[in-house]
Amino acid sequence: MSHTISEDRFIRQEPVKKLISWAEDGAERCVVIEGLYSSAKAFAISAAAVKGIHLILLNNREDAVYCSGDLYKLIDKERVFFFPPSKNFSHKSVNKDSSHQVQRTAAINAVKEYLEGSSKFKSIVLVGYPHSITELVINKKSLDSSILKISRGDTLSHDFVRETLLAYSFERVDFVSEPGQFALRGGLIDLFSYSDNRPWRLDFFGDTVEKIKVFDIDSQRSLEERECVEIFPDIYETPQIEQESIFSFAQGKSTLWITDEQYFRSQIKLIEEHKREGEIIFGSKELSTILESHKKALFAPVSREFESIQRIVFHTTPQPVFNKNFELLAKDISQKISQGYEVSILSENPNQTERISSIFSSLEGVGHTHFDAEKISIHEGFIDHNAKICLYTDHQIFERYHRVKPHRTVEKSERLTINEINSFEIGDYIVHIDHGVGQFGGLVKTQTAGKQQEAVKLIYKDGDVIFVSIHGLHRIARYKSKDSQPPKIYKLGTGAWQKLKSQTKSKVKDIARDLIELYSKRRDARGFAFSGDTFMQNELEASFIYEDTPDQIKATSAIKEDMEMEFPMDRLVCGDVGFGKTELAIRAAFKAVADSKQVAVLVPTTILALQHYKTFTARLKDFPCNISYISRLKTAGEIKETSESIESGKTDIIIGTHRLLNKEIKFKDLGLLIIDEEQKFGVSAKERLRQLKLNVDTLTLTATPIPRTLQFSLLGARDLSIINTPPPNRLPVQTEVIDFNEEIIRDAINYEMERGGQVFFVHNRVEDIRSVEEIVRRLCPGVKSCIGHGKMEPANLEKTVLDFMMGDYDVMIATTIVENGIDIPNANTIIINQAQNFGLSDLHQLRGRVGRSNVKAFCYLIIPSVSSLTDEARRRIRAIETFSDLGSGFNIAMQDLDIRGAGNMLGAEQSGFIAEMGFETYQRILAEAFTEIREERELAGAKEGKDEDIGDSGRFRAGAKREEIAYINDCSIDTDLEILIPDSYINITAEKIRLYKELDAIKEAKELQRFTDEMQDRFGPLPEEARQLTFIVKLRWLAIELGFEKIILKNGILIAYFVSNQLSGYYASAKFASILQFLQKQHKRFRVKEQKEKLYITVDNVLSVEQAYNIFLEMKL
């Protein structure tokens, strides 16, 4: 590793030289180290641990993770091994942890290789803590006999590998996603060993191992090739294996570094006292023996027996606390430099150090403040008075949580979870675009002229059945709706479904026309063009304590660009809870105030008004800006005074509920309207907003995701900014699934109380919510609790929530009303009762109520026994438990949040249509409606001689190049050829359907190439039947482009039908004329016919789809 300037200066000091000398060949068996604080300990260890095996023993897991994180930066991270126990000892529970198992096995293997002389490193470093040391490890002899080594070119049979893996207790699965799993597919074996955090793919040619590749869990795609792999069994669950301590495994050759020897001993004793009956662990007696026999460095203070030991004395102090006071920081840096210190600010993100520089340069009376910026991140900064260096970390300066992920962590597969949630199960409700809602009856095989084909069976009312060809799966979708009520199943041939479809499309068109009309009017209206950024604007943005995410940067610049234009802005910012939307609103508001304009911030509830008032006030306290709010909490006199202040222009930013829209509130010069969660306002409030929006810049914020297809459809009617990236360094919420265990509930509440926090207890039944409060009071007698639910008087509910916000209560027992934007940073534990009854999005948003500060947050999901849950509930609970990071669960919650987003965007009536036809089908009709309206507008524009287009940016652009009109949007293909994914290639029905659907939905050649590459990588070379399947997709693209609505390829004859609507503009187009010209030249090969007013062509002797595709390609050229 290349050393930074500060590391070099640290290493050159006398105490470090003594430490290196002792570690390499010092005769002393023990040394005591004094005066090292914060991350200075990691600096000292990294300098001395250059030879041999080093075991660093910390007080707890958190310290071990941070110490590992520092060492990753200071020495080669591949020789630093985080050494946890095989299980995760979290708050009151012990769970199997695949990352822990891999990290522990990798460390044990590294020690084995080092002792054998096969390690590529001169030294290895293990970082452990009491729980990881008390657990015994497999002994070397047992380990050697358990490892299966496979190299490229080896000859071994599939059966041998399969039997060995089963003997190792590996589980056979469809797709490998965690250690201890394997999958067999043709000539491929995927397996996940316990010694690596990524799985491997063995590619066989006969019985020879041709290739070994590492692959990605999420995409299941290969990443890199390996020469050989070592497969480790689960060495923690295997019975009758001989075990020993990690010290014995290392044959007594490790050097120990103990940060707090007395505390470490007490923790070992505590674990010993609480061990299970019959459990053999490494205990206090064994620790005393090890401390006597091993070479060790103890960080002071130490117990009496070590007081007379040789000492190496450093002189460091922790980084001072500046409380985000940059003047204080600047003065400290200048003072240190004048005293001969070298000051460095450490950050992995150069933008952060640039922000600090820019803040310093904007401070008055501070002068030029120089510091070195080093692109490295450590846990805690320090000052070394011997080496004369100050290392300050950016996250401590900005008081941000510092997040470290231990190396060799096993990532979770979000994609596999989403696939599982969306997979088709027998009996699931499926919507066919032409026939309505039916039930899935499986993927069935049919015989046509002796050739095998596959189709999806759909069962309708009265047992009616249709078979959907695998080439038409883009026409079916899984039924999804906000309500869990089963949908109405349609009777085939009644026309009821067609009626619902046309009714929906007509209503959607009305909405779309209104949206586009309003957009047009606003583009023609004159607004106020705000001026460019002032120096104060830059200062405000630089003082934001979090790092801007890429999406925030993009949205900020889009908002400013809109505000600086002459027509009024209407931008919708959409992002998950805690993704930084409010910060964007504050920046926009300040930009307006800097141009002497007033800003109105409209929120749906009094509580949100108060919350926003607090946030805006805290953020803008150092800037010339008057902020006030209007709500029910103010007296009539106070409201009158505030409204006078608004009218006179004294108030720059006013925050309030729909009362702000009342006639008596008059603005002196309103320049910007910010609306939070517009969909929550009533009809009259929305109407008033429509009038206001026409000539005032408007910024709307929403936490409900807007579905991607809807985003695209709305592009011509609204400017959208989507914030999908979560803020970095945010702590994940520790999520645990429990039964109604009174001891765990009591401990969870008491733990939160002890650290001065508050608890949400969600119980969604108003009828027995009081009895839950009684249980809480019985379990925790001293706790102050309150109840909140939607059936309370609004004023009472508001008061209860406000009292809870002010800290008057410790526990709030409530229904899902807590989901609605209540932001209480002090509430960091949420307990959700009967969690199996909530949707994914509800659970995701409820959990988003905690973990909003720098404190570790907990979420407990109480469910009855897992065996009593439905499959769907089990999948939901597993998904929410697995993805606990902010942002990582977002895509999973999107699975049903989308539905809510669509309903909110387009109104309650549309929610009714979504419930009847399912979300995906509704989206499809919606997209069609918007496309038709655009075409209508374009045709109308063409008649009037205008050349107007709604471009990708969502803006109307004059003179834009218009795309060719598509006269049809689909083409059905029917064939008797054997075109399918054979069972011998993929025999997992759910995956087959998913792949058929994915292939059927592909619209671009690049995507099709990616799809085939992925198939070959994951399943082996494509069989001919599957290769022909890709030509079906290409053929459909070409047919739509050329104007063919239906293709039949049977008995070697190709029949292709032109557009069925005889009045279509297609027949007057240049495209049709050029096809006719081509057909006349090729009249011997092609025959043009008309039957029952349908025009079609026929071609004989077409024996494959690929051949049919090439024929159409000729026609196009």
* Whole-angstrom distance, CA of residue 1113 vs CA of residue 698: 49
* Whole-angstrom distance, CA of residue 606 vs CA of residue 612: 10
Q: Which helix (H) or strand (E) holds 295?
A: strand 295-299
* Whole-angstrom distance, CA of residue 819 vs CA of residue 798: 14
Q: How far is CA 543 from CA 85, 535, 546, 789, 945, in A?
A: 41, 12, 9, 38, 52
Same domain, 72 and 108: yes
Same domain, 678 and 716: yes
Characterize 854-880 residue by residue with b for buried, 16 or more Cβ atoms within 10 angstroms of its Cβ, and e for exposed.
ebbbbbbbbbeeeeebeeebebbbebb
The pLDDT assigned to 418 comes to 65
The pLDDT assigned to 993 comes to 86
Domain boundary among 479, 503, 527: 503
Map tokens 């040391």 to a residue.
133
898 assigned to some structural domain: no
* Whole-angstrom distance, CA of residue 845 vs CA of residue 858: 14
Same domain, 245 and 202: no
Task: State the CATH number of the domain containing residue 485.
Answer: 2.40.10.170
Q: How far is CA 419 from CA 188, 424, 525, 891, 919, in A?
A: 22, 10, 47, 12, 17
- How many CB atoms neighbour CB 632 within 10 A? 14
Task: State the CATH number of the domain containing residue 160.
Answer: 3.30.2060.10
> Tokens at residue 784, please?
């102050």
> Tokens at residue 1073, please?
């004329």
Same domain, 172 and 35: no
992 assigned to some structural domain: no
C-beta of residue 462 within 8 angstroms of C-beta of residue 905 = no
Same domain, 424 and 453: yes
Note down the domain range covering 849: 734-884
> Tokens at residue 828, please?
């960091």
Domain boundary among 451, 482, 503: 503
Please tell me the total count of domains within the chain.
7
Q: φ, ψ for residue 416 (rounded to 5)? A: -65, -35
Q: Is 935 helix (H, G, I), strand (E, B) or coil?
A: helix
Same domain, 351 and 277: no
Task: State the CATH number of the domain containing residue 771.
Answer: 3.40.50.300
The pLDDT assigned to 784 comes to 93
The terminus-to-terminus CA distance of the chain in angstroms comes to 59
Q: Which long-range contacts (CB under 8 A, 24 or more apart) does 629-634 make?
A: 629/654, 629/655, 629/656, 630/654, 630/655, 630/656, 630/657, 630/659, 630/660, 630/665, 631/606, 631/656, 631/657, 631/659, 632/606, 632/657, 632/795, 632/798, 633/606, 633/798, 633/802
C-beta of residue 737 within 8 angstroms of C-beta of residue 407 = no
> Tokens at residue 804, please?
């809870």
* Whole-angstrom distance, CA of residue 745 vs CA of residue 466: 52
Domain boundary among 249, 282, 313: 313
Q: φ, ψ for residue 170 (rounded to 5)? A: -75, 150
Same domain, 14 and 154: no
* Whole-angstrom distance, CA of residue 967 vs CA of residue 939: 13
The pLDDT assigned to 955 comes to 35
Residues lower than pLDDT 50 in the chain: 1-2, 709, 712-713, 897-899, 901, 947-963
Map tokens 């607004």 to a residue.
527
The pLDDT assigned to 934 comes to 67
1078 assigned to some structural domain: yes
The pLDDT assigned to 132 comes to 92
Q: How far is CA 424 from CA 430, 443, 476, in A?
A: 9, 10, 11
Q: Which long-range contacts (CB under 8 A, 24 or more apart) does 154-163 make?
A: 154/208, 154/209, 155/207, 155/208, 155/209, 156/207, 156/209, 157/207, 158/184, 158/189, 158/204, 158/207, 161/189, 161/202, 162/189
The one-letter amino acid code at 172 reads R
178 assigned to some structural domain: yes
997 assigned to some structural domain: no
The pLDDT assigned to 81 comes to 95
922 assigned to some structural domain: no
Handedness of CA 144, 146, 147, 153 (dihedral sign): positive
Same domain, 833 and 861: yes
Task: State the CATH number of the domain containing residue 1078.
Answer: 3.90.1150.50
785 assigned to some structural domain: yes
Same domain, 372 and 493: no
* Whole-angstrom distance, CA of residue 910 vs CA of residue 512: 12
Same domain, 325 and 448: no
Question: Judging by beta carbons within 10 Å of its beta carbon (0-12, 13-18, 19+), is residue 94 exposed, middle or buried?
Answer: exposed
304 assigned to some structural domain: yes
The pLDDT assigned to 391 comes to 94
Same domain, 304 and 221: no
Map tokens 């895509």 to a residue.
891
Say what the pTM is: 0.74
The pLDDT assigned to 717 comes to 56
Same domain, 719 and 739: no
